[in-house]
């Protein structure tokens, strides 16, 4: 009786261990595949606009006696060139956040300034969709980090909120201080009433080039690199980015960052004496 009871206790534990091991291997293999795919993805993503540009320039030459067609093709060339430019820029941004130590140039950064900058960046796009943007709770909060990187990260989240939301909805940005494990952090939450993200996709959206709907992402000028940049910036600052979402209802992306506390402010202004 006792032996049976023991093996009954061990068996589920054993199978759970095996399961964990299998999951671990699967995860390692997945990460390796993602890494291998990166170069292939970059090539593919670069080839698409370059190929389009080459075809369009041929079309322009063939249509030289049709000014309206030339204008149409030239317009599309401009769109492809813009796409190429933003892709290259995001690749540069990504490699920068992956390689530079952001805390070398760390300083206290005002949250209200970061939020205002992010809203400014999306004002035009939000305006054309009549999306209302509202911010709250940002007064007197400071995060500790690299201003440029933090602005890029928050900007990406707000940009996505606008891009993946239907017209006449609301994007809210709320900040607050939280104390966890004795340390003060600032949480900046970006909430939209957009298309939402399925549980399956939630696990993958932070990967480089992963897009739930590539056609939709491209149509809004997306590169699939935005959230990978956000994730790197958060991690290198000792923070984290998390997502809550319900399909068809909306999403909340929360950026948690270390607070620029009084001690850090002082350390920044004058080197420690002891």
Per CB under 6 A, residues contacting ligand ADP are: 156, 160-161, 164, 192, 194-197, 205, 210-213, 217, 222-228, 251
Give how far Cα 17 sits from Cα of 4, 12, 245, Å: 20, 9, 31
Q: What's the closest the beta carbon of residue 271 comes to ligand ADP, in angstroms?
A: 39
Q: What's the closest the beta carbon of residue 147 comes to ligand ADP, in angstroms?
A: 21
Q: What's the closest the beta carbon of residue 167 comes to ligand ADP, in angstroms?
A: 15
Q: What's the closest the beta carbon of residue 211 comes to ligand ADP, in angstroms?
A: 3
Q: Which is nearer to ligand ADP, 60 or 122 (CB)?
A: 122
Q: Which is nearer to ligand ADP, 155 or 258 (CB)?
A: 155
Nearest CA-CA partner of 82 in 225, 226, 221, 220: 221
Structural element, H or E, at residue 121? helix 111-128
Contacts by residues 89-98 (CB-CB < 8 Å, ≥ 24 positions apart): 90/223, 90/225, 90/226, 90/229, 91/42, 91/225, 93/152, 93/225, 93/229, 94/208, 94/225, 94/228, 94/229, 94/232, 97/149, 97/152, 97/229, 97/232, 97/233, 97/236, 98/232
Q: Which is nearer to ligand ADP, 154 or 260 (CB)?
A: 154
Q: Specify which residues 134 forms β-bridges with.
A: 172
Helices 226-236 and 147-163 cross at an angle (nearest 10°) of 140
Q: Which is nearer to ligand ADP, 153 or 186 (CB)?
A: 153
Nearest CA-CA partner of 151 in 82, 225, 210, 93: 93
Q: Which is nearer to ligand ADP, 135 or 197 (CB)?
A: 197
Longest dimension (CA), the chain: 94
Q: Which is nearer to ligand ADP, 15 or 249 (CB)?
A: 249
Q: What's the closest the beta carbon of residue 251 comes to ligand ADP, in angstroms?
A: 4
Q: What's the closest the beta carbon of residue 108 comes to ligand ADP, in angstroms?
A: 27
Tokens encoding 229: 């940049």
């Amino acid at each position: 009786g006792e032996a049976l009871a023991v093996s009954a206790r061990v068996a589920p534990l054993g199978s759970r261990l095996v399961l964990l091991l299998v999951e671990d291997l699967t995860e390692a293999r997945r990460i390796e595949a993602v890494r291998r795919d990166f170069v292939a993805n970059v090539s593919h993503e670069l080839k698409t606009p370059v190929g389009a540009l080459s075809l369009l320039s041929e079309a322009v030459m063939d249509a030289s006696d049709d000014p309206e067609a030339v204008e149409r093709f030239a317009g599309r060339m401009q769109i492809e060139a813009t796409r190429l430019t933003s892709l290259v820029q995001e690749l540069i941004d990504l490699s920068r956040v992956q390689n530079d130590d952001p805390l070398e140039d760390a300083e206290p950064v005002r949250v209200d300034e970061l939020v205002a900058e992010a809203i400014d960046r999306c004002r035009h796009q939000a305006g054309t969709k009549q999306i209302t943007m509202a911010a709250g709770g940002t007064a007197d909060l400071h995060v500790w980090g690299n201003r440029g990187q933090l602005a890029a990260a928050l900007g990406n989240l707000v940009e996505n909120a606008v891009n993946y939301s239907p017209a006449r909805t609301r994007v809210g940005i709320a900040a607050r201080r939280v104390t966890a494990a004795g340390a003060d952090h600032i949480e900046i939450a970006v909430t939209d009433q957009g298309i939402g993200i399925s549980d399956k996709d939630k696990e993958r959206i932070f990967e480089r080039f992963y897009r739930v709907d590539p056609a939709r992402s491209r149509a809004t000028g997306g590169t699939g690199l935005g959230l990978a940049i956000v994730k790197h910036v958060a991690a290198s600052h000792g923070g984290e980015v998390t997502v809550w979402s319900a399909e068809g209802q909306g999403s909340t992306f929360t950026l948690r960052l270390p607070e620029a506390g009084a001690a850090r402010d002082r350390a920044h202004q004058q080197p420690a004496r002891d």
